[in-house]
Structure 1
Amino acid sequence: MHESTPRQRIAGGLILLALLLQIAGFSGVINTTYAVSYGLWLAVVLLWRDIPLRSRRQAGVLIALGIGMLLVARWGYGARVDWPGIFTRNAFVVAMLVGVSFIALIGTQGNRRTEGQRVTGTGGVLRTWLGVHFLGTILNLSAVFMVGDRLSREKPLSTPQLLALNRGLSSAALWSPFFASMGVVIALVPNMQYGYVALAGFPLAMAAGLITTLELRRRFDLTEVEGFSLAPQSLLMPLCMAALVMLFHFWLTPTLSIVGIITFLLPTVALAFNLSQGPVYALRRIHQHSMTRLPAMRGEISLFLAAGLFTLGLSTLVDAATQEQWTLFAHFGTPEAMMSFVVIVLSAIIGLHPIIGVSTLASILALEGSEQTLFAFVALAAWAVGTAVGPLSGINLSLQGRYGTSGYYLMKHNLGYAALMSTLALIAIAVLAARL
C-alpha cells in the first residue's frame, strides 16, 4: 500500500469528522447537515486529482449539469434555490458508506479459521458466490478483495472466478440493508416497506447464485477452477449485524431510519471489537483506517455527492418549468415499473452508474403509498443487474484495477446473465405490484 500524502490524510480526517458529526446529529440536539456535507465535499476537492479519470469525468459532468440546471431554474423560471444547502443531497448516504467501511476493522483477512476447506469445480464456484454474497452484505466491496486475494495467491483469477465474485456481490444489492443501494433508495422513498422488498429481493438473489453456477458449469470446464469456502462461523458476523440493525430499528430506536442506524452502529461495533485489545491498539487502527481507507473511497464519495447535486438540479428545474404539475407517469404501476427497470439497466450497460438512473427517475415521479415500495424494488433490482453488467460500475472497475481484467470483458460475459436476471426481475416486479 502506498504511503498517503498530507493532502490525502487531511481529506481522510475530514471524512472521519463528517461521520462523527452525522452521528452527533442523530441526537437531535444540533443540526449538523451542512457541516457534514461541506466536510465531505471539501474532502472530494482535496482528493479530486486522485479520482480515476472515468469516474472524475462522470462526477464532473453531473456536478456541472446540476449547477447549470439550478441556475436555469433560478434565473430562467424564478425558482427559489437554497444555495447553501445544494450540497447536502446524499451526504447522509455517504456517511453511511463511511460508517460501513469501519466494519473492515473486524476483518477476518488472514484468519484461516474462517476459510473453510479448499474446493474446486461446480461446488467451488457456488461456494465462492455464497461467500462473497453473504460477507458482502456487510463488508461490501472489501468482501470481494478478501475472497479474490485468497483465490489469486497462486495464479491469476480465471473468468469463472471473476464472474462469481462480480455476481456474488452485485446481487446482494437486491436485499441487503447495508448496501449503498439501499441507502439511496431509502433516501428517495423513505416510506417504502423494507419487508416487502426483502421478501421479493432475497429469493431473486438466491436465483442469481443458482443461475451463475449452472451457467458457468455449462460454459466453462470447472474441473480445475478453485473455489473459496467460508467456515460456518464466518457467517456469524453478518447475521449478528443484521440482527442488531433490526433490534434497533424495531425496538430501541424506531424513529431512526435504517441508514441512520447503520451509520452509527457499525463503527461502534468495530470500535468495541478493537477496544478489547486496548485503547492504544484501537486508536492506532482507527487512525490507519482514516488515513488510508477513507481517502481511497474518493470515487464512491464523489459519485454519490455529484449524483445528489444532479438530482436536485433536475427536480428543481422540472418543478419550476412545469409549476410542479408534471410527472413522468401519472401512476406508477406494473408497466411503468418494468419500463423503468429496463431503462436503468440499459443506461448501466452504456456506462452510467445505476445511481444516476435511479435518482433521475425518482426526481420526475410523484410516488405515493405502495408506489414507493414498488419503486424501491425496481431501483434495487436494476442496481443489482446494472452493476453486474455495467463496464464502468464500481465492482467491475475494482476487479479491473486489482486483478487485471477488463470491465468490457466482464460485460460481454455477463450479458446473458443480465438478460435472464432481467426476465426474473420483471416477473418479480409484476408479482410484487399485484401484492401491494
Structure 2
Amino acid sequence: MSSPDSPATSTRHALAGVLILLGLVQQILGFTGALPFPHGVGYALWLATLLLWRDIPRRTRWQAGALAIIGLALLVIARWHYGAQIAWPAVTSGNTYVAAMLVGVSFIGLIGNRSGRTRPLGRPITGRRGTLGTWLGVHLLGTILNLSTVFMIGDRLARRGPLTTPQLLALNRGLSSAALWSPFFASMGVVMTLAPGMEYSRILAVGLPLALLSGLLTTLELSRRFDLAEVSGFSLSPRSLLMPVSMAILVMLFHFQLTPRLGIVSIITFLLPAVALASNLPAGPRWTLHRVRQHTLTRLPAMRGEIALFLSAGLLTLGLSTFVAAATGSEWRLFSHFGSAQAVTSFLAIVVSAVAGLHPIIGVSVLASMLDLRGSEQTLFAFTALASWAVGTSVGPLSGINLSLQGRYGVSGYRMMRHNVGYALLLSGLVVVAILTLDAWL
C-alpha cells in the first residue's frame, strides 16, 4: 500500500481533485442547459470518491459503504421482486446537487487574504451571548445561504481551535430550525411541490415564532448543560457579517432578478466560486490559476468524507423511496382525512425515522404519496412536513447538517444525535401545540 506522501498517492489525489472540480464545472454547465453528459456529475464525483476511498476515515468509510450497499440492495429488490422500472445510469445522481454545492462553497477559502496570512482575531464573545450569537447568525443567514452559512461561521469559530460541542450544537440547531419558515430552504421547495395549495402566510405566522423559541431553548439548555464561560461565539458585528451578508445580497439579486429560474442551492453552487475567482483576478491571471490549482490538488481531495457521505446517503434515499413506492403501490391512502391527530402522528413517525437514520425528505415524500390532500389540509400538511424536517435534521445522524459537520469537523453524527435528543423532545412538544393551534385556525 502506498504511503501518504508517495508519488502514487499524490497522483491519485491530484486525479481525484480534478474529477471533483470537473463535477462542479459540469453541475454549473447544467444550469445553462449545456451539459454534454446527463449524469456526468455523479460519475465524476463517485469516481473521485472511489479513488480516495482508502483515505477516508474508517468510521466514515464504514458508514458510507453501508449506506451505499443498502441503497443498491433495495434497488435490486424493487426491480427483481416488484418489477419496478429503474434508470440504472442515473443511480449515481442522488445528492449530487448538494455535493456540488459543498464543493462550490469550499472556494470561500480563496476569497480575499491573498497574502496567505491570517488576520489577528479580536476578543471573543463568550457565554450565553456568544452562543446566542452563533445560533442567530447561522439562523438568519442560513435562511438564505442554507448549508454554506454553517461553513462560513463554523470555519471562523474554528480559527480559535477545534469546535466544542456547544458550538457544534448551536450551528446544528441554528440552521435546522430555519426550515420552519424560510421560503428559500430546500424543505420549503419540496413542500411547495407536494402541497401547492398551502398558505405560506399561515406557515410563517406559526413557524417563525416557533423557530425563535427553539433559539431561546437552545441557549438556555446549553448554558445549563455546559460551562459556556470559555466557549466563543459568533459576533454579529459589521466586520463579522460583511462577507456572509454580502453573499446573501448577491444570492437574492440573482434569485429575484438575474437568474429567477434557479433555486438557491444552484445559485450558491456557481456564485461562490465566481466571487472567489473575481477576488483573485486583480492579482493577475497567473496568481488566480495558481490558487485554483492549489485548491484543486489539496482542498478538494480533503473533502472526501463529506462527498462520500452525501453520495451514499443519496443512493440510500433513492433505493428506499423506489422500494417503498414499488411495495405499496399508488392507490392506497393512509388517511381519509388529514387533521391534527393525523398530523401529529405523521410528524412523530417522520422524526422517529430520522433518528433511525432516514432523511426527513423520505418520510415527507412517502407520506405525501399516500395522502389525498384537499383545501386547508395542504397547509396543515406543509407545516407538519416543515416541522418534521426541522426536528428530524437536527437529531438525525444522517441529515445533511450532521453529515456536513461530520465531514468538515470530524464530529460523529450519532454523537450529535445523542446531544440533541432532549432538545428534539422539547421542540416536538412545542410543534404538537403549534399543530393543534394551526388546525384550529384553519
Shorter chain as denominator, the TM-score bin is 0.7 to 0.9
Mean Cα displacement is larger for which, 125-134 or 184-193? Answer: 184-193
Partner SS for 1:87: helix
TM-score (norm 1): 0.78
1-structure distance, mates of 2:291, 2:345: 47
Q: Paired residue for 2:423?
A: 417
Q: Does 1:110 align with 2:113?
A: no
Which among 57, 62, 66 is matched to residue 52 of structure 1?
Answer: 57
What displacement does 1:14 show? 0.9
Letter in 2 for 1:38: Y
Q: Paired residue for 1:149?
A: 158
Q: 1:206-246 CA deviation, whole Å, 9 max, x = no partner?
A: 33332222334445555555545243233233333233323
Q: 1:24-78 CA deviation, whole Å, 9 max, x = no partner?
A: 1222244543111111121222222233334333333332233223323333333
Mean Cα displacement is larger for which, 255-264 or 135-144? Answer: 135-144
Aligned residues of 1:329 and 1:365 also touching (Cα < 8 A) = no
Q: How many residues align?
A: 424
What displacement does 1:128 show? 3.8
Please give the residue correspondences for 1:374-389 in structure 2 after superposition, counting only pairs within 5 Å.
378=384, 381-389=387-395
Letter in 1 for 2:365: A
Q: Does 1:266 align with 2:272?
A: yes
Which among 218, 239, 242 is matched to residue 236 of structure 1?
Answer: 242
What displacement does 1:170 show? 4.5
Instruction: Rate the CA distance shift 1:406–1:190 in 2: closer, same or farther, 3 A.
Output: closer
Aligned residues of 2:343 and 2:380 also touching (Cα < 8 A) = yes
What displacement does 1:20 show? 0.7
Letter in 1 for 2:241: L
Q: Paired residue for 1:86?
A: 91
1-structure distance, mates of 2:380, 2:223: 34
Instruction: Rate the CA distance shift 1:8–1:201 in 2: closer, same or farther, 3 A.
Output: farther
Q: Paired residue for 2:368?
A: 365
Please give the residue correspondences for 1:196-235 in structure 2 after superposition, counting only pairs within 5 Å.
202-219=208-225, 222-223=228-229, 226-235=232-241
The Cα RMSD (Å) is 4.1
Which among 20, 23, 30 is matched to residue 25 of structure 1?
Answer: 30
Aligned residues of 1:120 and 1:226 also touching (Cα < 8 A) = yes
Instruction: Rate the CA distance shift 1:317–1:409 in 2: closer, same or farther, 3 A.
Output: closer
2-structure distance, mates of 1:371, 1:201: 17
Q: Does 1:15 align with 2:20?
A: yes
What displacement does 1:412 show? 4.9
What displacement does 1:271 show? 1.8
Q: Paired residue for 1:38?
A: 43
2-structure distance, mates of 1:404, 1:92: 22
Please give the residue correspondences for 1:392-403 in structure 2 after superposition, counting only pairs within 5 Å.
none
Partner SS for 1:110: coil
Which among 127, 130, 135 is matched to residue 129 of structure 1?
Answer: 135
Letter in 1 for 2:151: S
2-structure distance, mates of 1:260, 1:13: 21
Instruction: Rate the CA distance shift 1:335–1:59 in 2: closer, same or farther, 3 A.
Output: farther
Instruction: Rate the CA distance shift 1:435–1:49 in 2: closer, same or farther, 3 A.
Output: farther
Aligned residues of 1:175 and 1:198 also touching (Cα < 8 A) = yes
Letter in 1 for 2:362: S
Aligned residues of 1:133 and 1:169 also touching (Cα < 8 A) = yes
Aligned residues of 1:337 and 1:374 also touching (Cα < 8 A) = yes
Mean Cα displacement is larger for which, 226-235 or 161-170? Answer: 161-170
Q: Paired residue for 1:76?
A: 81
What displacement does 1:17 show? 0.5
Mean Cα displacement is larger for which, 4-13 or 212-221? Answer: 212-221
Aligned residues of 2:187 and 2:389 also touching (Cα < 8 A) = no
Letter in 2 for 1:298: R
What displacement does 1:340 show? 3.7
What displacement does 1:140 show? 3.8
Instruction: Rate the CA distance shift 1:166–1:91 in 2: closer, same or farther, 3 A.
Output: closer
* Gap runs ≥5 in structure 2: none
What displacement does 1:335 show? 4.2
Q: Paired residue for 1:316?
A: 322
1-structure distance, mates of 2:191, 2:413: 29
Instruction: Rate the CA distance shift 1:396–1:317 in 2: closer, same or farther, 3 A.
Output: closer
What displacement does 1:83 show? 1.9
Percent same amino acid at aligned positions? 58
2-structure distance, mates of 1:208, 1:226: 20
What displacement does 1:159 show? 5.6
Q: Does 1:294 align with 2:297?
A: no
TM-score (norm 2): 0.77
What displacement does 1:304 show? 2.7
Letter in 2 for 1:246: M
Aligned residues of 2:313 and 2:398 also touching (Cα < 8 A) = no
Q: Does 1:303 align with 2:303?
A: no
Letter in 2 for 1:365: A
1-structure distance, mates of 2:403, 2:82: 40
Which among 43, 62, 69 is matched to residue 64 of structure 1?
Answer: 69
